[in-house]
């Protein structure tokens, strides 16, 4: 009997008396990836920026001031390829410690938590320059982490001090013309020379960020069919750097093609072991995804500010266009989306930091534990990347619309922002690939019982609206019930999809995509409510309530639409009507009717009072 058969038969065999004996210890799920899938809104906690430590706030302030006082002053110069200025900025970031948060102290780093690492790139968004953030993020993430995690002591001693300080820049060369999302199908090869001293690499890597400026590259090739990672030094013979690509956006960053023509790489530059290339290639991408979520959500705040400044000054029909309801709706929606991204991002870093808090950093297997913990949060990392990139896309598009015809003119900042944002839904894994990862990983966690999804499904099949330890007087009590309904609906769709397809579900993209959308919407609602519920009474909590109420309304609609798409596809005839009746019965029992317009009006009134994004 296969794992999916066990999952199906166990759930189907549970009756009400069995359910009474089932118990899920939600406290034990703290720091576990995917916990939000099953933990009710009154159970468990999430980390958010309201819980930043004094050290967190110090780094936030330092990076924000650097962005405003240094990057913002030269952002136009950084919007075009400007190697000398970019390298000067890069080295300054190294001197300030912005590049070394993930590097061990013995190699010149700060060895700080994941939250601090994300706070820095978030705050640097104040410089309003995507190209420089791409340059720095590619270095600190995919360029350097493979060496931090997989390098031996000699490799770390050679590369990390200079990379942490900004003296050397790193890059990551994985993609090939015939191997994009399917990276392991790459054609690059590496053969050991007759002397056994060097591997000779042959092949081509494309879209290499930082490529023309890098001193060090982490790259990949097959050794007798075994996918393997290598560290390249700039002085490796046969490493040929192509011309700069002429890109649609992020024009100030370096993007080139690498040509390996019998490129001589010393045998000691194999990263990990021969054949370890797959895990090395993919594990670092988790960090790249949630950091991209942070930078895109962070950048969206400044899109709001720019659009609001323009709308205040722009007059039509004898009044500022910010007084028109349609423009106000745009701003309200932008604020809600940015808050959603911010909530997701620090929920992830807080959960990872919580899981690693008691781990001995001096232990030989410390980075093995770090990798496994981050991989365990793979669902959240993909959600962060999707939510952040799609938030920035939405805000930039609406921001340009507020600018009207001027938004289409290059001398106004929205045109550059519009071009720059588009890449974010493509790199670090396209948003389509990340949706597949979300669906596939949820299914894997269910089948392997990494978290008690099976028990949660069994509970929810009998009662879609479990009793919550939340007072009836709570202003968002009905929103809490709506979230629990959505959690049950998501689990219902997972259950029915596994029953129909078993392990082949991961290949059913017509189902996986709407299911992933349900998971994303649930993560946003669950995280947002828990963030709100932890706040002390006062103006900040009242302002958060307005945004959360709109967020729940939006994500509730997304759950309903995507869930019905799945059910309408899976079933026909009487069986279909039976399932729809169940869905409708529990939906009616929530008592929830969103008042989206009232929430939007309240949000925009608060935004106009503060004259900027106000939930930091």
Burial (CB count <10 Å: 0-12, 13-18, 19+), residue 488: buried
Tokens of 26: 């939600």
Is residue 501 helix, strand or coil?
helix
Neighbours of 538 (CB within 10 A): 9
Q: Which phi-psi region, left, alpha or beta, contains residue 225 (left: φ > 0; alpha: ψ -120 to 50)?
A: left
CA dihedral for 495, 501, 502, 504, sign (positive or negative)? negative
Cα(99)–Cα(345) distance, integer angstroms: 19
Which residues, at least 6 apart from 590, have a Cβ–Cβ distance to it below 8 Å? 465, 478, 481, 482, 485
Cα(559)–Cα(186) distance, integer angstroms: 37
CA dihedral for 303, 207, 122, 74, sign (positive or negative)? negative
Burial (CB count <10 Å: 0-12, 13-18, 19+), residue 274: middle
Determine phi and psi for 320, rounding to 5 degrees: -60, 140
**DSSP codes, 568-593:** HHH--HHHHHHHHHHHHHHHHHH---
Is residue 233 helix, strand or coil?
strand
Cα(518)–Cα(523) distance, integer angstroms: 9
What's 71's DSSP letter? I
Q: What share of the chain is helix, strand, coil (3-state, %, to 5)?
A: 65, 10, 25
Cα(104)–Cα(369) distance, integer angstroms: 15
Query: How far is C-alpha 98 from the chain's CA centre?
Result: 20
* 544 in Cβ contact with 532 (< 8 Å): yes
Neighbours of 309 (CB within 10 A): 13
Cα(96)–Cα(166) distance, integer angstroms: 10
Cα(529)–Cα(552) distance, integer angstroms: 9
Catalytic status, residue 428: yes
In the chain, count H helices and then E strands: 21, 10
In degrees, to the nearest 5, what angle opens at C-alpha 261 toward C-alphas 259 and 266?
105
CA-based radius of gyration for the chain: 25
Task: Find the Cα–Cα–Cα–Cα dihedral 173, 63, 527, 384, rounded to 10°.
Answer: -20
Cα(232)–Cα(221) distance, integer angstroms: 12
Give the residue from 443, 451, 429 showing the smallest Cα distance to 508.
Answer: 443
In degrees, to the nearest 5, what angle opens at C-alpha 371 toward C-alphas 250 and 190?
70
**From 428, 467, 479, 578, the catalytic residue:** 428
The residues carrying an active-site annotation are 428
């Amino acid at each position: 009997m296969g794992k999916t058969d066990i999952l199906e038969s166990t759930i189907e065999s549970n009756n009400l008396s069995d359910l009474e004996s089932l118990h899920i210890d939600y406290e034990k799920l703290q720091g576990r990836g995917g916990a939000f899938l099953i933990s009710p809104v009154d159970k468990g906690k999430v980390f958010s920026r309201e819980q930043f430590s004094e050290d967190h706030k110090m780094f936030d302030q330092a990076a924000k001031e650097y962005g405003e006082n240094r990057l913002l002053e030269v952002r136009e110069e950084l919007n075009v390829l400007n190697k000398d200025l970019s390298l000067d900025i890069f080295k300054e970031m190294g001197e300030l410690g912005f590049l070394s948060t993930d590097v061990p102290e013995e190699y010149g780093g700060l060895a700080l938590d994941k939250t601090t690492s994300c706070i820095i790139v978030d705050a640097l968004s104040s410089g309003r320059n995507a190209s420089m953030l791409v340059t720095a993020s590619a270095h600190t993430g995919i360029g350097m982490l493979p060496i931090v995690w997989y390098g031996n002591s000699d490799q770390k001693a050679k590369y990390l001090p200079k990379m942490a300080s900004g003296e050397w820049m790193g890059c990551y060369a994985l993609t090939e013309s015939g191997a994009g999302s399917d990276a392991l199908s790459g054609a690059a090869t590496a053969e050991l020379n007759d002397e056994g001293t060097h591997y000779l690499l042959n092949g081509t890597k494309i879209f290499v960020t930082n490529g023309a400026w890098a001193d060090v590259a982490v790259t990949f090739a097959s050794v007798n069919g075994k996918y393997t990672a290598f560290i390249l030094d700039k002085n490796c013979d046969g490493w040929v750097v192509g011309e700069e690509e002429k890109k649609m956006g992020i024009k100030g960053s370096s993007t080139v093609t690498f040509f390996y023509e019998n490129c001589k790489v010393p045998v000691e530059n194999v990263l990990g072991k021969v054949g370890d290339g797959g895990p090395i290639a993919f594990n670092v991408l988790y960090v790249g995804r949630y950091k991209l979520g942070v930078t895109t959500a962070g950048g969206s705040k400044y899109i709001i500010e720019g659009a609001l400044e323009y709308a205040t000054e722009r007059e039509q029909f004898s009044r500022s266009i910010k007084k028109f309801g349609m423009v106000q709706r745009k701003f309200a929606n932008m604020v809600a989306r940015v808050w959603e991204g911010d909530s997701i991002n620090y929920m992830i870093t807080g959960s990872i930091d919580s899981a690693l808090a008691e781990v001995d950093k001096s232990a030989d297997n410390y980075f093995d534990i770090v990798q496994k913990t981050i991989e365990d949060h793979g669902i959240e990392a993909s959600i962060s990347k999707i939510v952040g990139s799609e938030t920035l896309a939405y805000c930039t598009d609406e921001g340009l619309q507020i600018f009207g015809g001027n938004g289409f003119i290059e001398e106004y900042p929205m045109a550059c922002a519009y071009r720059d944002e588009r890449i974010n839904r493509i790199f670090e894994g396209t948003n389509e690939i990340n949706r597949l990862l979300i669906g596939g990983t949820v299914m894997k966690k269910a089948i392997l019982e990494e978290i008690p999804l099976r028990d949660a499904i069994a509970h929810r099949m009998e009662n879609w609206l479990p009793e919550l330890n939340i007072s009836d007087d709570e202003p968002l009590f009905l929103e809490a019930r709506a979230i629990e309904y959505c959690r049950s609906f998501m689990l219902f769709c997972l259950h029915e999809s596994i029953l129909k397809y078993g392990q082949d579900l991961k290949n059913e993209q017509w189902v996986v995509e709407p299911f992933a959308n349900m998971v994303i919407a649930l993560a946003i609602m669950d995280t947002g409510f828990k963030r709100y519920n932890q706040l002390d009474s006062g103006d900040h909590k009242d302002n958060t309530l307005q945004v959360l109420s709109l967020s729940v309304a939006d994500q509730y609609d997304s759950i309903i639409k995507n869930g019905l798409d799945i059910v309408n596809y899976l079933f026909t005839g009487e069986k279909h009507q039976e399932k729809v009746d169940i869905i409708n019965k529990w939906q009616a029992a929530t008592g929830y009717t969103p008042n989206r317009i009232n929430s939007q009006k309240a949000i925009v009134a608060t935004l106009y009072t503060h004259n900027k994004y106000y939930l930091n």
